[in-house]
Structure formats: C-alpha cells, structure tokens
Structure 1
C-alpha cells in the first residue's frame, strides 16, 4: 500500500473516528419511547458530527443573504497544541488541516510523556470535532455545552446550562471585546433601538448557518452577542470553554475559544440600518492590556516574524491568545499544575472584563451628567439607556458569581490526586477569586449607578410634571376667578332685568323710571364685587360674628 502512495494508517484513523461518532449515536433514543433517558437533545450534535467532508454549506454573506457556496482552499488554524515540559519551554504545534492532526490518533493507545495545553480556536467542523474528541475520548456533552447556541432548526430543550454535578471539568468564561467606529458619532435612541433589533436578527441567522459549516469555514470566529452602546462604541461578547482531561499519568487542559483567525470583520453581526450601514469596514478592536505583576522580573516575550504595522487595522486580541500564549506564566510551574497552565486565560478574561466595565462606567457617568445638567429638559426615553446598560451588567455579574462557585469546585477536583500542587493551586485560586470579587463588586456599583440614574430621570420628569401641573393649575385658577367675576357682575343685572321686565317710562312701556333700576343695580353690583374680591375677609368677619352670637346664646342659657 505504501508503494501506491496510500497511507496504511488511514483505515485505522477512520475506524477511530467512526467509533467516536457511533458512540454518541448509540446513546440517543427516541424521546417518545424513552422520555427519561433518551438523550435526544444530543441528536443535533450527532447530526452535525455525521456531516461528510466536502459538504456544500451555506453561510451568511457580507450582505446578510444566505448564499450557496462550495468549499475553497482556505484553511485556518483550529488546534494549537502546547507540549508542556518541566525541563524546557513549551513546544507549540498549530494544526490548520485535519489530515495532519489525525495522525496523532495513532498514539491514542499509549500516553504521551508530557502534559498538554490545547487551544481550539473558532467555529468547528465535523471532522475537527471528531478528531479532537476521538483523540482524548471527550464526553460529547462537553461539545454540546459550548455549542448550546445552535438549535439547528429544532426546538430548544433548555438543557444548557446544566447542573454543576453534570458539568464536571468544564468552566465557561464570557469575554467582551470593545469595538470602535474610529470617529465619534451621535445616533438617536430610535436609531440605536433599530440597530440592536437588526443585529439580533443577523446574529441568529449567522449562528444557524454554523450548522452547515464546511471544512474551509473551520477556524472562523463565533459571536454570541453584539452590544450597541452608542453610535461609535460596540462590544462583541464571546465565550471560552475550559475542560480538564486526565490521560493516565498525565493531563490535558482543553481551551475552546470562540475567536478564530479572521482577516476580515464579516463575522461581526453589524446591523445594516441607516446609521450603521457598512460599518464593518471602519471597525477597530480595543486592545486588552494585561501583564505580569508589578516588579516581576519575567523576561518579555518575543515572537518570530513580528513587526509593527501601524497602517493595518487592529486585530482582535482574543484571536491572538492561542498562538501567543504564556508571556506572563512560569512554564515550569505550568507544566506540573493545570491551574497554573490556564492562569493567563483567566488574567486575559479579567482584564477584558475590567476594560469593558470601565467603558460602561464612563458611559453611565456621562449619561448621569447629562441628566443632572438637563433637569429642565429631562427626557424620559433616556431611561432606556440606563436599562440597557443595567441588563448587560446584571448578566455579567451573574456570570462572575457562577464562575466563582465553579472555580472552587473544579480546581479542587483537578488537584485532588496531586498533593504537591495544593499549595500552588490555593495561592493561584486566591488571586483569581480576589480579581473576580473585585469585578463583581464593581459591577454591583455600576448597577447601583444605573438605578440612581434611572431614579434621577424619573425624579426630574416628576418635577417637570409637577411644575407643569402647577402652571396649569394657576392658569385654571385665573380663568375660574375671571369667570366668577363675570358671573357676579352679569348675573345680578340679568336678575334685575328679568324682574323689572324692562317696563320703564323712558322706553314707553311702563310707569317706572329707569333711574329706579340704576339706583338698585349699582349698590347690588358693588356688593357682589366686594363679595368676590374680599371673600376671605368677609368669611373671617362672618365667623367672628357667628362666634360672638354663639357665646351670647350660651351665656343666656
């Protein structure tokens, strides 16, 4: 077979891949025949793993339309494998073609002589998931948890997130990436609302199309959410799943990040509304700044082939993490302790979360300043800005709380059989928890600030409404008083006119003189005017007289 150019190991590799696929299919039964233990929710994943090589898929084009395409010769690195050794630095191997990676399956029967840190970058393909899963015999539910956003045309059975006891060895991180437009732009609240709605629609379409991904699409980035804060600042949310795999005498930490190696920004579900049309050509990523602790003497990292290119657009920081990992690590310690090996992942996550929180704080404070300076012109629609920021903050706070609980459980389990790592793990765990608690408290403060801003807007609107009501009441009181005056003037005159019947001698209809009417009307008019203008005084005098009369009556009795 070797003479004919056919690799004799191919049947062995294909057998292992097929066994991995069939092992999942064997767990799935009909929900109607076995409603308790059918594992039917894994049917979508099983269908995805069965896709054949060269399958013609559909993807979301730049114009947002579903167009049929054929696989092209475009391969992006999907697996970054760090071989950890306590005696030397790590050895990085990047795999951009699944054929080359599949040769490692032949060593699955035995155990490698070192621990491993493996990154999976971006969206998967069926071939890649089967290859990685078969090599490490990964529980299929781990893949399902990371791909929980893919209902694939069927109903969502709400199985993710799962119970802590059922999600062993898996830790999930939410990583925000800030995006700038490059120039400051004002977009009305209605414009932002339309953009958010359109972005959600485009994101759902993009995620649905990942089901039909091809080999050429593996390694492209996945976006979970796009938060549109202003006309020039957006935030892309992605996730990282971390899994611990034990391999006889060694271990592998598997880190699956949503960010791949993209040369364009088409994976961002940018809205196509009036104010955000063609913004993908102007987006820039905000860098994530993190480094060694102060006064640390670790040498700086140097990567071959690196050079500055100030004219190029900024690359997504998360996409650089798999290939340029470990500048802040002690690799000798990382080779022996799984928590030390992924410490930089948590450091990156905390730094990205902090910068996003700082940005939200700035936006909220600016909105608060506008609210305080515009008390006379408060806009109740500005409440939507505070509510939008608050919803994001609440989601991130819940994520950090879950992460804090998960860390304590998982890292205790990871180091259970390694007493020599307990002290190091506890120290690192304490550092991580300190950062996460700080971020959690900052999030609570920002949430309180949103609530205060919302209350301030409501208070200003209430004050404006009260002032408006007071002005209207004053106007109504003035109109009422004028009406009373007219009534007290013309009513007596009308009464006299009706009584006398206009039968006056001067008018040739009676014997009475018109001066009699004048002599009666003028005093009556004067009395009415006095009663209208001096009503409070007359009420006081009347009360005084009534009191005197009451006193005399009581004395006489």
Structure 2
C-alpha cells in the first residue's frame, strides 16, 4: 500500500527503480514514484516495442503539481473525490476527503471501496488516487483520450483490444435539455443551420477544454463529449463514465470517473451556453431529470432521498450530478461489500435509464416527422432522418460495448461473494442488467431501421415529385408546340407577302417559281433531318464506308486472278 513519504519533489529525479504497481500488488508507492514512472514510460520511443509516446500529454498534466519549476502554489480542488467504504459488518461509510493526502489515508484501512471522481482532472488527486489504490494509468489515459486525440500528433491508440479492458469499463449517458420557448417555429433550413453552428461551437469548446485540461485550470468542471440539437424544442448532451477495478492486499476499489462535475455555466463556451442563460433569466429548467421506474418507489420517497447533510447547497442541473451523493440505496449492502460488479449495478442502471429517456425523445421526433409527411403539399426534408439514424447507429455501438463488458464479467476475474445465496442474487441482478441493455440495443436497432425505411420513402417521394414536375413541364412544352403549329404557317404567309417580289415579276426569265424550287427541297431536307438522329446518320455513313471497302477488296481480288 502506498505511503506518503515526501520523496523528491521532482518526479523526473532519479529515485531508484520503483516496485511493480500491478493491480493486487502489495508493494508501496508514493505519488512521486507513480508520476515518475508514467513520465519515464512516455519517453520510451524507438528503443522498445512497448512505446509510451501516447502518454506524453498525460505525463505532462500529472507532473504539474509536483514540478519544482512551478512558481505558484498549487491548490487541489476539494470537490473532485467522494469515497464509499464497505465492510461486511455494517453500513457503508460515506467520506468526502478534502485533500489528496486524506484520500491516501483512507486507502490504508482494510475495506472495499467505491471512489467517485468528477469532472475535469485534478492532477494531484489523480496522482494520489493512482498510487494509493493501484490504478493503472491506462484508465486515466482512456478517459481523457478524446482530448489527446485532438492534438496535431495522433497515435490512434483507441479503441484497443478488448482483452486490455477486462478491468476497465466505459459507459455513455445522456441528458436531455429543453430549448427556450421563445425560439418559436423554425424552418428545416434554419434547423440545419443551427446544427452546423452547434458543431462549430463544439470545435471551439474542445479547443478551450484541451487547453484547460493541459493547464489544469478548471478542475472538477463538467466535460461534455457531444451536443445534439434534436429539433426546436429539445437538445441532448452526451457524457461518459469510466470504471476501473483496482485490487490491493487491503481490498478492492472501484474507481468511477464521471464527466459530470460542477454545473454547466452559461459563462463558459459551448452551444448550450445561450440556452442556459435564457432559461435562467426566465426561470425555466434546462435539463430534464432522469425518470426511474423502480417498484413501489412512490411509496418510499423518504428512504430514497439524499441525506440532508449530503444535499448540494444549490440545485443541481443534471441528475448525473447526484449519483455520488446517495449511491447504492436500492442495493444489498452485504453483497456490495463483497462483489464490486454488483456494487456498480446502480451506476449501470442509471446510464440505462438515461439511454431509455434519450430513445424516447428520438422516437417522438421520428413520429412527428412521420406525421408531417401525411400533410398535403408538405415537403418534408430527409435531413432529420439522416441525423437521427447517425445518432442511433453510434448509440447502438456504445450499447454493444456495454453488453460486452457485462458478459465478460466472469472472464475478467472480478471478486464474487463466497456465500451461495448472495452469489445467486448477484448473478440474478447481472442477468436482469444484461436483459435491460439488450432491450435498449434491440430498440435502438429497430429505430435505426425505421429511419432507413422512412428515408427510403422520402427519397422515393422526392423522385415522384420531381417526375410530376417533369410531366407538368412536358405539358407546357406540348402547349407551346401546338401554338407553334399555328404561328409557323402564319409566319410563313406574312414572310411570303413581305418579300420583295419585284425582281421575280420584272424578270420573267426567273419568275416566282424559283422561290418554290429552292424552298421546297430545303423544307424536305429539314423534315428528313428531324426524323434522323446523329447516331443513325453516323451508322449509315459507316455502313457505306464498309461496303465501299468490301467492293475495293473484291475488285483487287478479281484483278489478281
């Protein structure tokens, strides 16, 4: 177990070869040794097959509070970590460590634990948590990979092999938000423009987020990975939770890192900023709460509420902000103390409920678009169906990864209860969880197929509309052609009488007959050219050329005889 020996303040200084930090190891590590090892790994490039160049930015971030070159006092966030400690003999112990050193002291006690980390990284907390609870640095890297992948130098390290993720699980969760009612009715063209604008705002947000994380200037601030403008009423933000199981001789610790930290602020960049500002000014709630349908939940409101001493001082915007405050209320505490996967059941189910709510919103939008197709003379754009299908396909892939993580629980070697009854109850919960996620995946795939079929219908309708337009244009051309049959003879008559007939009358040798002698063959030639196209004429000339060559060949053969 890690001890808090002060060590050399410079992590890159020579401290001898540290002990192994494999999960389950009993060796003791200091945060300085932990950071120094990551830095040394990041410097491995061409001299080994096990290169660590992709860890360069992570090593730079973690070194900041320990670097002797730092001239300012480093003050770690006091809201970054929350700890639950489980023992088989009593209820879980809820801890809010105020400093990383206090967190490390909790690691010295013999207990199984769930450690919640929230928001943007605080390097000192990560260093102490990693050293104290034997956390593989790969866990930190994968959670922040989306930021590292935005740098100029990319290594395309993720996703990696599934066998490297046995103790590391990543889940996505959604939060649906309401747009200001003052937006009114907007056209499809305007909606497409707003989606493009939101995409540009997200690029700017990621640029600023990457700088803040690199400088560690906004610890515990929330991270948003995707923003989706669904229609004029609703939008959705996508976030992630990463889970790692670390084991020491003191027990196991499930480290849970949530993207949701402090409430999103309208003063920070992002496509949701204006919405938050407008809704706060009008007193309208922005984010919808997650709705969970647990049996008899309405009859046990008091027991499901967060304890008064843990409730936030101000109202939290997102349901995900409350996970760490009252965790595990509906789970068996005895099984939680022995089975880490069972202890994470509530986290899985929260993500599943958020996904179900998101799918409900998408389904309602698809129905609205489908109903609009039935309105006469209503031109429905296929842009929404393309947009929804893309969202559903990405979420289907995320759900498949979650199902794979649940299925691989046995192979990953997660601790299980020794008591048969508790083991059976844990297995039943896992089976139910697997059913829920498979149901979500099946529903997502069905809705994606529905979008494809609606898109096919819309494209077919668009083709029919274009065909009808072509038919109408052909009818107009037909009318013009009929008018031409009337006006062409009249034009001929008027042109004929407008001719200067003096030379024909004064010179009988020519006479008026010469006009008809020239115009007649010319008109006949034009009529013949109308009935023949260019390819037919070329074919005739080609056939004549071939026949002439055959005749020449026959003539030469006759002469040779």
TM-score bin, normalised by smaller chain: 0.7 to 0.9
CA drift of 1:393 comes to: 0.9
Shift of 1:154: 4.5
8 A Cα contact 1:292 1:328, kept in partner: no
Question: Do the aligned residues in 2 keep the contact of 1:221 with 1:267 (CA within 8 Å)?
Answer: no
Structure-1 residue corresponding to 2:200: 198
SS of 2:240's equivalent in the other structure is strand
Structure 1 stretch displaced more, 223-232 or 386-395: 223-232
CA positional deviation for 1:432: 0.9
| Post-superposition offset of 1:193 | 3.1
* 2:550 corresponds to: none
Instruction: Write the distance in 1 (CA, Å) between the matches of 2:456 and 2:473.
Output: 25
- Which residue of 1 is the match for residue 303 of structure 2? 300
Q: Note the C-alpha offset of 1:43.
A: 1.7
Of the three residues 156, 162, 175, the one matched with 2:173 is: 175
Under a length normalisation based on structure 2, what TM-score does the superposition of the two structures give? Answer: 0.75
Equivalent of residue 114 in structure 1, options 94, 111, 122 = 111
| Aligned partner (choices 135, 138, 143) of residue 141 of structure 1 | 138
Name the residue aligned to 1:95: 97
* Deviations, residues 265-301 of structure 1 (Å, cap 9, x unaligned): 55572267xx869557466111012253358997723
Secondary structure, aligned partner of 2:160: coil
Contact 2:168 2:245 in 1 (8 A): yes
Q: Give CA deviations for 1:113-167 in whole Å, capped at 9, x if unaligned.
A: 3211111111112101101000012111111111111227441211112111122
- Determine helix, strand or coil for the equivalent of 1:11: coil
* Residue 52 of structure 2 is aligned to residue 50 of structure 1: no
Cα deviation for residue 399 of structure 1 reads 0.5
CA distance in 2, matches of 1:268, 1:326: 34
2:409 matches 1:410: yes
- For 1:4-15, list aligned pairs within 5 A: 11=6
- Give the Cα–Cα distance (whole angstroms) in 2 for the partners of residues 213 and 225 of structure 1: 22
Counterparts of 1:69-468 in structure 2 under 5 Å? 75-104=77-106, 107=108, 112-151=109-148, 153-183=151-181, 185=183, 186-187=185-186, 188-214=190-216, 217-248=218-249, 250-262=251-263, 264-266=265-267, 269-270=270-271, 278-279=277-278, 281=280, 284-293=286-295, 300-305=303-308, 315-374=317-376, 376-379=377-380, 382-415=381-414, 420=420, 422-468=423-469
Alignment-derived partner of residue 19 in structure 1 = 33
For residues 66 and 53 of structure 2, what CA distance do their matches in structure 1 show?
25
Task: Decide whether the 8 Å contact of 1:223 with 1:268 is kept in 2.
Answer: no
| Alpha carbons of structure 1 residues 414 and 296: separation in structure 2 relative to 1, 3 Å | farther
Alpha-carbon separation, structure 2, partners of 1:268 and 1:55: 33
Question: Would the aligned equivalents of 1:404 and 1:436 in 2 still touch at CA under 8 Å?
Answer: yes
Task: Call closer, same or farther: CA 1:344–1:276 in 2, change over 3 Å.
Answer: closer
TM-score, normalised to structure 1, is: 0.76
Q: How many residues align?
A: 483
Match of 2:52 in 1: 39
> Aligned residue for 1:5?
none
Residue 253 of structure 1 aligns to a residue in which SS? Answer: strand
C-alpha contact (below 8 Å) 2:266/2:272 kept by paired residues: no
SS at match of 2:374: helix
What are structure 1's unaligned runs of at least 5 residues? 1-7, 58-69, 515-557
Question: How far does residue 223 in structure 1 lie from its aligned partner after superposition?
Answer: 1.1
CA contact (8 A) 1:122 1:218 kept: yes
Residues of 2 paired with 1:113 and 1:246: CA distance? 12
Q: Secondary structure at the match of 1:403?
A: helix
Could you give the per-residue CA deviations for residues 376-422 of structure 1, whole angstroms, max 9, x where no partner exists? Answer: 2415xx22222112111111000001111121113442446655465
Q: Partners of 2:448 and 2:205 in 1: how far apart?
A: 26
Higher deviation after alignment, 275-284 or 285-294:
275-284
CA distance in 2, matches of 1:209, 1:466: 54
Task: Assess if the C-alpha contact under 8 Å between 1:378 and 1:457 holds in 2.
Answer: no
Kindly indicate whether the alpha-carbon contact (under 8 Å) linking 1:20 and 1:134 is maintained by their aligned counterparts in 2.
yes
User: Could you say what secondary structure the match of 1:113 adopts?
Assistant: coil
